[in-house]
């Protein structure tokens, strides 16, 4: 076996494990990966792409809702948080989901400062995750280009 491929594969394994250990991903992400097959090799990438598009849209909506000079419609913010919580949960984006849970409570409490802060955190968090996953996909590409197979990483 090519040493270079083996090294890349090990790097990939360690990277994935660290994403789980640091709480970026949870077992729902594992479930998504298990759904990907030879017939749909880009399934995970497509789903993630949809998720990140959702993030941009929802964060934008929330920023606008919180930017009102006058009364803020917290139910509007809450509705967007609900959607984001749903999709982050479905994709396995653990940290984003966790933030959404807090965010929801802040909306219900109509805590303006809290909401603004939380939205900033959500923004940072999803962008961080996006960058991390991009690195993951790049590693996969490198492995394949080096003639290797992307390993299945056993989280448990």
Partner 1 sequence: MGMAAVESHFHVLAVDDSSFDRKLIEKLLQKSSCQVTTVDSGYKALEFLGIESNDPNALSTSPQEVEVNLIITDYCMPGMTGYDLLKKVKESSAFKNIPVVIMSSENVPARISRCLEEGAEEFFLKPVRMADLNKLKPHMMKTKLNNQKLEEIDKPLNVAAAAAAVEPEIKDSAEVGSKILTLQSELEPKQVHLQVAQQEEQTLGNNNKRKSMEEGLSTDRSRPRFECITTAV
List of residues contacting partner 1 (CB under 8 A) = 28, 31-32, 34-35, 37, 39-40, 43, 46-47, 50-51, 54, 82-83, 85-87, 89-91
Q: Give the integer Cα–Cα distance in Å for 72 and 91.
A: 30
- Cα separation of 94 and 27, whole Å? 9
Q: How far is the CB of 89 from partner 1 (least distance, A)?
A: 6
Minimum CB–partner distance for residue 58 and partner 1 (Å): 11
Tell me whether residue 46 or residue 108 sits nearer to partner 1 (CB atom): 46
Q: Which is nearer to partner 1, 7 or 49 (CB)?
A: 49
User: Is 31 or 108 the residue whose CB approaches partner 1 more closely?
Assistant: 31
Residue pair 107/74 in contact by the 8 Å Cβ criterion: yes
Q: Which of 19, 96, 115 lies closest to 51, judged by CA?
A: 96
- Tell me if 62 sits within 8 A of 103, measured CB to CB: no
Least separation in angstroms between residue 40's CB and partner 1 is: 7
Smallest distance, Å, CB 50 to partner 1? Answer: 5
Reported as half-sphere exposure (CB side, CA atoms, 13 A), residue 86 has a value of 9
């Amino acid at each position: 076996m090519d040493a270079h491929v083996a090294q890349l594969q090990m790097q990939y394994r360690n990277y994935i494990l660290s994403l789980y250990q640091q709480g970026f991903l949870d077992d729902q992400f594992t479930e998504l990966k298990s759904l990907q097959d030879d017939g749909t090799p880009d399934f995970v990438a497509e789903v993630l792409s949809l998720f990140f598009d959702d993030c941009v849209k929802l964060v934008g909506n929330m920023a606008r809702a919180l930017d009102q000079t006058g009364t803020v419609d917290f139910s509007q913010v809450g509705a967007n948080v609900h959607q984001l919580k749903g999709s982050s949960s479905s994709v396995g984006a653990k940290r984003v989901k966790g933030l959404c849970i807090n965010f929801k409570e802040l909306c219900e409490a109509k805590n303006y400062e809290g909401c603004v802060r939380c939205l900033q955190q959500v923004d940072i968090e999803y962008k961080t995750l996006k960058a991390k996953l991009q690195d993951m996909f790049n590693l996969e590409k490198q492995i394949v280009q080096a003639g290797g197979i992307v390993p299945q990483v056993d989280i448990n």
